[in-house]
Structure formats: structure tokens, C-alpha cells
Chains A and B, each alone.
Chain A
Amino acid sequence: MTVQSPSERSTDPLARLRALTEARVGLGRAGAALPTAPMLAFQRDHALARDAVHAPFDAAGVAAALSPRTTVAVRSQARDRAEYLRRPDLGRRLDPGDVARLTGGDWDLAIVLADGLSAPAVHAHAAPTALALIARLPGWRIAPPVLATLARVALGDEIGARLGARLVLVLIGERPGLSAPDSLGAYLTWSPRIGRLDSERNCVSNIRPPHGLGYEAAADTLAWLLRAARGRRLTGVSLKDDSDSHGGSAALD
């Protein structure tokens, strides 16, 4: 056995390694295997991520966090979480029964708060991010926020098109990693319509204070991108090139 006791570990040269990266280095060994403590730590983190993927979306709770603003709730064509995971195409289209809830208007921006692959991320971070952003956009005509269940990023294209919005911003739960089960992504698309490509969007990822990006910093970046997108009448690769440090690149689906 080569498992080290805590007192041995304090003089362990591998402690230096552990201080240099968040990767799971210097874990020690039980023969060839992982010692029990790091093995269970991995299982704990995987359990948190798995539970986040399968957690149901509490759209009413997010709506309450946005009150007194009026919100609209819609669903995608996926019937349940299992179908959502197998059929990303269904998560990109509105349930036909919900289409009539979205009526056309004259909006600069539509904001969609969508469960994506981590409802807990949306529960924790979507409303504060949206409110911080709205506060930075005086004079913008912003449609009532849309709460979307079993949604992929591209559902925002249909929602934005239905609302007649010039820009759509989708705040959505990112695929959980072991280190972050509750990371929020923000995807911005100019002139939304069905069939937009991912290369036509800009993304700010890892909104997750205190470990990731904070609400104020995320809202600053998003407001910058929104103004640039409105000024240049586009989003996507060419906008990102100009903003450089502002754009993220986390692919969702």
C-alpha cells in the first residue's frame, strides 16, 4: 500500500504539484488504484453533475426572481428530459401549442432564460445576470423575458423571430463538468430566425460567481457585445474578432 497519511502528505513533494493546477494531480495510490478519498471525491462531483443534468426546470421560480417584470413561459417540442437529451433537434423548436404566446412587436432585444443542460445554473444565475444587463441598457426596447423549458440555444432563434426582435440573448445552463455543475452561458444572435448557425453567434461562458465570471462583469461584456452588434448589424465570428477578450467559445450543442 502506498496510501499516505495526512501527516506524510504535508511533506509530500506532490503537494507542490497540487498547488499548480486544478487538475487532479498528486492523488496518491492504493496499489495501482485511486485511494478511497479521491475516488469518492470524483464520485461526488460526478453525482452533482449528473443531478444537474436531470434536474427539472423551475420556470416559476425564475419568473418570481424577475418580478415585477412580466414573463412568458414556453416549452420546446421535447416531451421530457430523456427525449431532450436524445433529440437535440426537438429542443430547438417551439411546442406548436406555445407559439401563440409570442406575438410580434418592435423590440431591440429578446431575452430567453432556458434550462439547457443545467437547470440549477439557470436557477442560480440567470435572473441576476438578466437584471444586471437590463440595468445597463437604458433606452432599449426589451421584450418581456421568455422562460424556455427543455430548450437548446437555437430555440432562441424561433422565439426571437416570433417576437420580431432584432437581437436575441439566450441565457442557458451549460453542460456540467466535474468542477462546475452550475455554469451559465450567454449566446447572442443578431436577426434571429430558424436555421441560424452557431458561427453566427457570440458567447460568454462560465457565468458562475464566485468561482467563474460574476454578474456585473458578465453584464458589462454582454452590453458591450449588444451595442457592437446593433451598431454593426451582425453577430458571430467577425464581431468576436474585434472584441477578443470579451467573447467565450463554449459549444453547447
Chain B
Amino acid sequence: MFASTLNGERYVFDDLKTLLARATPVRSGDELAGIAAASQSERVAARQALADLPLTVFLSEAVVPYEVDEVTRLIQDGHDAAAFAPIRHLTVGGLRDWLLSDEVGAEALAALGPGLTPEMVAAVCKLMRNQDLIAVAARRRVVTAFRSTVGQSGRLAVRLQPNHPTDDPAGVAASILDGLMYGCGDAMIGVNPAGDSLARTISLLRLIDDARERYDIPTQSCVLTHVTTSIAAVERGAPLDLVFQSIAGTEGANRGFGVDLALLAEGRAAALSLARGGGQVCYFETGQGSALSAGAHHGVDQQTLEARAYGVARAFDPFLVNTVVGFIGPEYLYDGKQILRAGLEDHFCGKLLGVPMGVDVCYTNHAEADQDDMDSLLTLLAVAGVNFIMGVPGADDVMLNYQSTSFHDALYVRRALGLRAAPEFEAWLAGMGMIDARGQVVAPPRGAALLDYTA
């Protein structure tokens, strides 16, 4: 039991998950689950109690029971006591001060990662203002590599997302070409297929791989289909670079996605068997609210469960992880303010845990959000050093029916903050005459070498 007193009133929190839920900034998903603070006063009282909580409590009290959940077992069994030692004596509030202190730099943050559990990171996240989330994340670079290198300081990569309502090859190719001419595609070229069949997956993988080989583009391909379909595609000899899967922070929610940890390991092994890149072959997507949506949240708030999803991700040494922050809808993140906060939280938590975080800065038409909200979140994430964002033609995904960031948005934010494409991709752009001496993407149609490309 945990308690604190605010203005003479005593607030009691029955257990750790309740304390974490009550301390969380307002969001509709926690209200839907019936676990949110009933008042602002209760929320701040919970934060006071949380600030005084020793970090060691997280090693003895699980928010989801160890016996019933393999994600909890993964987290607790994998905890690195030696890495935890420098902060072992701290409270959650003390950890916030430590993270923000001038003495703690990139190396200390990187060394700390294995000593942090997702729940510790979620807890300190709840005590941090948006600027704190940005300031700390900006010091924690997580660099990964396949054909391109993503995550370095001063770089911002883009996943080119050339979706089409019927997976028409010419339509997908048109969006790929459009994106390349804006300098996008260095994180990967990744399609969400409209149809989930094996044949469709293989033909889309071949389409992307043909374009990549024809123009010698230093990037990687991905078709976002279920991991079992990717494994089957590998068995058929398809040119698969990255194996995709949606993941979540509880065993039950992962089961809702049709996966468990063993199957994720199997998918990773299948992609590794092709030896097309290095050891980083996984691409995961996550998003707050997925466990509640699957009825597998165990009364834990959605931000804490999202951090646990990164605990799953880091066990598989992924190339990229993407929180699709505003996709799930207003019953989980109601408006632009909640989406913005969640995007910064997810990026911060992922980075602190050592995960190569990107963010799909996005919203649906039934959320209280618009392009201005996305401009704000995009800019803040770029300041925070996000590894990659999405690039969707005109910000309008005509297959998934939601709005993400556009090729123009990528161009804007790279210019505004002086950020550059992944180094190998940047060299390719220069070789193709698509960027000028200052590294700025030139206006089409001067990227003419590509213009003959069709599927």
C-alpha cells in the first residue's frame, strides 16, 4: 500500500499498478479502463508518493504477476543488477533528477539501460514534463544498422510507406518513387499490405527489392504482415530484409496478435538465416492502448504497458521500433494534447531502454486532432532525436485511412533543425544528383535519373 497527503487530505493507493495509473497524465484509455485518477489532486498526490518510492520496489513487486505472464518473466529474469547498481539507492524522483543532471551523459545513459525495467522507466516518465522527456531522450542515441545506419546524432531517417488500397504494383511503385525524390526511404521501404496472403507478401517484397537493386539504394524492405507469413515467405526464398510484428506489453495482448516470445524468436531466426544484413533484422510496431483493446491489461495503465512492449522489443535486438501513437483512436488518446504527450513518452521510454525508437506521428478522423497538432509533435520529436518518422504521400494513407507525416513534413523538419538523412542514403542521394552541395533535396523533376522507374 502507498499513500500521500495533499492539502491535508490523505490519498491511499492499494498497490504499485494503482499508484502508477493514478500518477499518469490524463488520457481517455485509462479512463475507459476505470483506473485513472478521479481528480487532479489525486493525480498529483500519486506523483508525490511515486517520487518517494525506492526503485528497488520495482524488483520485488510486479504490476502483472510473474506466474501468469511471460513478459514479466522476460523483464525480471533479464534484469542486469550490475547496470542497476549506480542508481540502486535512488527513489523514482531521485532518478528523474539523476537523468536530468549535468553529470549524466550519453555513455552513462547507455550503460544504465539493461539495469532499468520498463516499469521503472514508465514510473519516472510520469514525473517528467514534456521538456524533460525531450531533454533526456536527446542525450540517448540508439544506433542500429542494416544497409543504412539509423539513429546517429544529427540524422533523421524516414520509413517510406507506399501503401495502396489494392496493393496495385504500379500504385505502390508510384508512391515509392515520389518518396525517394523527397529524400525519404532511408529507414526502410515498408508496405502495409491490403491483403495478408503469402503470395501478396512475396510479390510486394520482390517489387521493393527490384527497385532497391535496380538503383542500388542503401535501404531495406519490409512487408508488414504477420510473422508467420514472413517465416513462410523466407521458406519460399522471398527477398525479405526485415521481419515485422505488432507487439504489446502483456502475454495476453501478444496472444491477441497471434504471437508469443518463442514465435518472435522464430521469426528473427528466419530473417537472420538469409544473411542479407547484420544481426538487426526485426521491425516492431507498438502503441498505447493495445493491451486494453485486447482485454489483457491486468488493470495496468496503458503507458506502463507500452514501456513493457519495449522490454519485449529489446530482447530481439531490433533494427527499428515504431510507436504508432495516434492510430488507435480517441477512446485511448482523445485529442492532440494526449497524442503529443504519448508520443514523447513512448520515444523517451524506448530510448532509455535502449530501443531504436521511431514514431508514427499520426491521428484518425474521429480524434480531436489535426495537422497542426502533428506539426508540433513532429518538431518536438525531432528535437528529442527520434530515429525515424513515417513518410506517406501527402500525409494521407489511402489504405489504412489515417493521417501520418508526409514526405513534405520530413523535408520541413530536416531543414528546420539541420537534420540529415542516414549517411549511406545521403551518399546515394548525392550520387543520384538528388541533393545539392548543402545536402538539401533538390526540387523535382531534377531527380530525373529515377523517373523511368515503374513496377
Q: Which A residues form the contact surface with B (CB < 8 A)?
A: 2, 12-14, 17-18, 20-27, 29, 32-34, 38, 42-43, 45-46, 49-50, 52-53, 85-89, 117, 175-180
| Nearest CB on A from B66, distance (A) | 29
| Nearest CB on A from B32, distance (A) | 6
Question: With a CB–CB cut-off of 8 A, which chain A residues contact B32?
Answer: 86-89
Partner of B394, one of A14, A25, A180: A25
Given contacts A23-B392, A34-B408, 19 further A-B contacts (CB under 8 A): A13-B451, A18-B174, A20-B173, A23-B393, A24-B396, A24-B406, A25-B394, A27-B394, A32-B415, A38-B394, A42-B371, A43-B371, A45-B396, A46-B365, A46-B403, A49-B365, A86-B31, A87-B32, A178-B403
- The answer on a CB contact under 8 Å between A20 and B174 is yes
- The answer on a CB contact under 8 Å between A32 and B365 is no
With contacts A23-B164, A27-B394, A89-B32 known, is A13 near B448, CB below 8 A?
Answer: yes
- The answer on a CB contact under 8 Å between A23 and B411 is no
How far apart sit A50 and B396, CA to CA, in the bound complex (Å)? 15
Smallest CB gap from B363: residue in A: A46
CB interface residues, B 299-351, toward A, < 8 Å: 330-331, 334
Question: With a CB–CB cut-off of 8 A, which chain B residues contact A14?
Answer: 178, 444-445
Partner of B330, one of A13, A27, A86, A180: A86
CB interface residues, B 30-58, toward A, < 8 Å: 31-32
Question: With a CB–CB cut-off of 8 A, which chain A residues contact B62?
Answer: none
Tell which of A2, A20, A50, A176 has the most Cβ of chain B within 10 Å.
A20
- The answer on a CB contact under 8 Å between B28 and A176 is no
Question: With a CB–CB cut-off of 8 A, which chain B residues contact A20?
Answer: 168, 170-171, 173-174
Give the interface size bracket for B toward A: 35 or more
- The answer on a CB contact under 8 Å between B408 and A87 is no
With contacts A27-B408, A33-B408, A88-B331 known, is A177 near B415, CB below 8 A?
Answer: no
| Nearest CB on B from A52, distance (A) | 8
Partner of B370, one of A22, A26, A38, A46: A46
| B395 interface residue per 8 A CB criterion | yes
- The answer on a CB contact under 8 Å between A117 and B366 is yes
Tell which of A42, A178, A180 has the most Cβ of chain B within 10 Å.
A178
How far apart sit A89 and B33, CA to CA, in the bound complex (Å)? 10
With contacts A26-B178, A86-B28 known, is A32 near B408, CB below 8 A?
Answer: yes
How far apart sit A17 and B402, CA to CA, in the bound complex (Å)? 22
How far apart sit A45 and B371, CA to CA, in the bound complex (Å)? 12
| B157 interface residue per 8 A CB criterion | no
- Total A-B contacts with CB atoms under 8 angstroms apart: 123
The list of the 5 closest CB pairs from A to B, nearest first, reads A24-B394, A177-B401, A21-B171, A20-B174, A2-B443
Question: With a CB–CB cut-off of 8 A, which chain B residues contact A180?
Answer: 401
How far apart sit A12 and B444, CA to CA, in the bound complex (Å)? 9
Question: With a CB–CB cut-off of 8 A, which chain B residues contact A87?
Answer: 32, 331
Smallest CB gap from B161: residue in A: A23
Smallest CB gap from A81: residue in B: B366
| B175 interface residue per 8 A CB criterion | yes
How far apart sit A25 and B330, CA to CA, in the bound complex (Å)? 28
| Nearest CB on A from B269, distance (A) | 28
How far apart sit A12 and B448, CA to CA, in the bound complex (Å)? 11
How far apart sit A49 and B174, CA to CA, in the bound complex (Å)? 26
| B398 interface residue per 8 A CB criterion | yes
CB interface residues, B 158-195, toward A, < 8 Å: 162-165, 168, 170-175, 177-178
With contacts A175-B366, A178-B403 known, is A32 near B411, CB below 8 A?
Answer: yes
Contact with A along B382-399 (1 / 0, CB 8 A): 000000000011111010
Question: With a CB–CB cut-off of 8 A, which chain B residues contact A85?
Answer: 330-331, 334, 366
| Nearest CB on A from B405, distance (A) | 12
Smallest CB gap from A179: residue in B: B398
| B130 interface residue per 8 A CB criterion | no
Question: With a CB–CB cut-off of 8 A, which chain A residues contact B448?
Answer: 13
Question: With a CB–CB cut-off of 8 A, which chain B residues contact A29?
Answer: 408, 411, 443-444
Question: With a CB–CB cut-off of 8 A, which chain B residues contact A53?
Answer: 365-366
| B364 interface residue per 8 A CB criterion | yes
| Nearest CB on B from A207, distance (A) | 15
With contacts A29-B408, A32-B408, A46-B370 known, is A21 near B403, CB below 8 A?
Answer: no
- The answer on a CB contact under 8 Å between B365 and A177 is yes
- The answer on a CB contact under 8 Å between A50 and B171 is no
Question: With a CB–CB cut-off of 8 A, which chain A residues contact B173?
Answer: 20
A sample of 27 inter-chain contacts (CB < 8 A) reads: A12-B445, A13-B444, A14-B444, A20-B174, A21-B174, A22-B171, A23-B392, A23-B396, A23-B398, A24-B396, A25-B174, A25-B393, A29-B443, A32-B408, A42-B394, A42-B396, A46-B365, A46-B370, A49-B365, A85-B331, A85-B366, A86-B331, A86-B334, A87-B32, A175-B366, A178-B365, A179-B401
Partner of B175, one of A21, A32, A88: A21
Partner of A175, one of B31, B162, B401, B415: B401
Question: With a CB–CB cut-off of 8 A, which chain A residues contact B445?
Answer: 12-14
Question: With a CB–CB cut-off of 8 A, which chain A residues contact B334?
Answer: 85-86
How far apart sit A178 and B165, CA to CA, in the bound complex (Å)? 13
